[in-house]
Amino acid sequence: MSERLVRYYQSHGIITGYAAGHAPSSNGIAEYYNQSDYWMLAMNYCTYIKNCSTHSSIETTPIEKLFNTKPLSID
């Protein structure tokens, strides 16, 4: 780490540590944070995309069927 970065961390009370690359199990704190925070966000996006996709059984999107309106574009 550069001295400038070390000084920045120290001045902001940030504690640093090292973890092995490509070994998620060696960094439990980051893994726990990602698991609890990002997975829920990803699930919300997946659900929205699924509800904006045409389903063959109803020949439209679930959003159109429920709310009689086209879903927002996800482009």
In a structure prediction context, what are the per-residue pLDDT tens digits for the chain, which is 75 residues long? Answer: 799 999 999 999 999 888 888 887 788 877 777 676 778 888 999 999 999 999 999 999 999 999 999 888 766
Residue spans of the domains in the chain: they are: 44-75
Whether the predicted model's global pTM rises above the 0.85 cut: no
Question: What one-character-per-residue DSSP string does 2-49 give?
Answer: -HHHHHHHHHTT-------TT-GGG-HHHHHHHHHHHHHHHHHHHHHH
